[in-house]
A and B are shown apart, each in its own frame.
Chain A
Amino acid sequence: MRGNRSAVAAVAILTTALSAACSGGAEKPSSEAASRSAAPAGPVKLTYWTWVPNMDKIAAVWNQAHPDIQVTVSKQAGGDDAAAKFLTAAKAGNPPDLVQAEYQMLPSFVAADAVADLKAETAQAKSEFGEGVWGLVTLGTDAVYAVPQDSGPMMLYYRQDLFEKYGIEVPKTWDEYAEAARTVHKKDPKVFLGTFSSKDPGWFAGLSQQAGAQWWSISGDAWKVAVNDEATTKVASYWGGLVKEGVIDGMPYFTPEWNKALNDGKLLTWPSAVWGPGVLSSNAPKAKGKWAIAPLPQWNAGENHSGFWGGSSTAVAAKSPNKAAAAQFATWLNTDPQALGLLIKEGAVYPASAKGAALMTEAPDYFSNQPDFWKQAADIGATARGFTFGPNVNVTYNAYKDAFDKAVAAKSDFAAAVGTMQDTTVADMQKSGFSLAQ
């Protein structure tokens, strides 16, 4: 029986967590003492949790040039699991010195007192980044909780060849997008213009940002939560209507089924972020050279807005005994031209720093049909508006998955699902004791 094994695993997890917690408590003073006395003796050793491919190669370049600060990369799986793992390790008292932190997770890390304030160490770096992206690591406070690494402005990926085949234009507004969805599905019932993914709250948050949503804001000493604001409800109702009509599919992104649909030309668009080429080239290799990008459709003709999906930063653990050295590495990694070049080449990262974005010249191989890919991406990126993330994004995101899972399966009211997200978020904050503004 599988259950027996998961029970064993659960006990193992519990005991590890326990022993980690014990040792964390007991060893804290001694490890601090050790670092103080060891600092002059040997090189500073830093551990770094990240999911960027080939980061070990980039760290090796740093290690070569900095014999006194040696960085060891520990490769992680990305997503919610990575955030949970870091929070657990921080709670247990043995986090890595450096961690890759998605922007929406940073407030949770700050709220759990798991990441350090790098204000003093990053004063120089600030000028390298745009205001929007810098706001994501300060959370609107005086502190600086991480150094931005990559950003994810959203755009519309579409199948050039199939748009021609079905005789549709690249939609400029969401109304045109809906119309195109109807046309395509009518011409071939097996083909959809797109799909609504109930598994990707970050995607939905980006679309809501485009519409002008502001899920969290700080007013005075209290949080204002507005996940069900007008903009978000509008976005949800729009997609809900299309799913109910049956002209937009309801399969989640990143499943084997979705990959197959992309590969076989059964899905014609993907409103996604600038990191899309990596996903498409590995998940839909057959369609190479057939996809192109355009700005997201707009809510009103003549507008020009986008949102962010994903993107991450490099943060330093509050418990790290070598914060200064860690901040030095984080700054180098995300602002030094050599490091940025490596991040682009080895890590397929779209850098958040202006200098880094300027280094992107040659279109991704998968988009060889669109030589000005990065120029387009940069233009779109300039129109992206984000929002301040709150301290319990993980709760909101989980509520999204559960509520929209049900709504998509039942083809029921998507606005109600947004209401559930709001209620769950507020209830969780009330339970913990956050000050909430009405």
Chain B
Amino acid sequence: MNRQTMDNEAPVNNNGNSFHGLLPAEQHKRILRKRHAAEFRFKMYGIAAVLVSILLLATLLLTIGVNGYSAFQQTYMKLDLTLDANDIPADDLAHANYQGVVKSSLRKMFPDVSGRRELRKLYSLVSSGAAFQLRDKVLDDPGLVGQTISLWVPADDDVDMYMKGHLDESVPADQRRLNPDQVEWINKLRAEDRIEKRFNTTLFTAGDSREPELAGIWGATVGSFYTLVVTLLLSFPIGVAAATYLEEFAPTNRWTDFIEVNINNLAAVPSIVFGLLGLAVFLNFFGLPRSAPLVGGLVLTLMTLPTIIISSRAAIKAVPPSIREAALGIGSSKMQTVLNHVLPLALPGILTGTIIGMAQALGETAPLLMIGMVAFIVDIPGGFTDPSTVLPVQIYLWSDSPERAFLERTSAAIMVLLAFLIAMNAVAILLRKRFERQW
């Protein structure tokens, strides 16, 4: 503190009398106390800032977890299905009226339900996927026709939500997703042990669906996989080649400066602009198919290239010149030096950067919306030009759905996506820890 502030202070002793300038020790103590208080406050601000960010991260993850963990379970119902040979003609097993079989089994369970509206409510307890499940079972084993089998089929998403305790009691009874009658039926089924929650395998094996209980993330996962394969196959060799040239061969002139400025700029261009580029160039100019992993991969390649180039350059730069000089000294050409000595030594660093770039690409959504990967696609993509969607886009699509059941599935999909990302980053960290050398 400078002289001025000390003069302006008017220290007061316990009696309230002014001792201006008379007791410097007392003055100093007061000023010090103030300064230490300020010091303490400043430190607290810092701690608060750190805590706030950690707290926000925790809230984010906790919300996702709390909302999503229940999606890993799905309510199933046990139905006794009478496969009458009259209903299921042996010559056309695939197109028989399985829906009717499911309905009649429900009618048999609740004989006192009558009236079209009531019956429709009863039927709505079972997922529309039940009929398909039954068909597949019969197609697998045609000998079942004529027997009565009991089968666990998925319940409707509203039943599922009720079983998980998400029925909104605040809504008037006649406007609820499940009316009191239906709740009564469910409770009756529950008492008969005909309804239970099981692990939701559908979530991991099915493609998208309009019915939450039949919707899964496998289609999106496969789409993400194909997209990432394209991205990796293109961006890794091109990125490493570019980094090698710029770091090892390029003369320092305006041209290389220009390339460098371009790479740095591209790293900061908003991702959606790459989507515009993809739409205008790959779709409209080259006429590549919409919604295809091939185009998605191309767009993501252009996006991840700067990341890979920058990190590869850092890794190549970290290899000490003595290695290069030794290789050159025993007669290697410049190219041999780079290919046989510098690149292998820089590889862990390059791989770390690549994995981080891939993780970014995996989580990227915006540019993929532009090239049509938001389409509703039920089938599992089988190749690089099949229409498909990717995990983050699936999350975006589901988050828009009004059904309560999609909320938990969105969160579950987010958990899966985050798990992939964490795994990738963990691999990157592991690589760095194990192989990166301090020269």
Q: Do A and B come from the same complex?
A: no
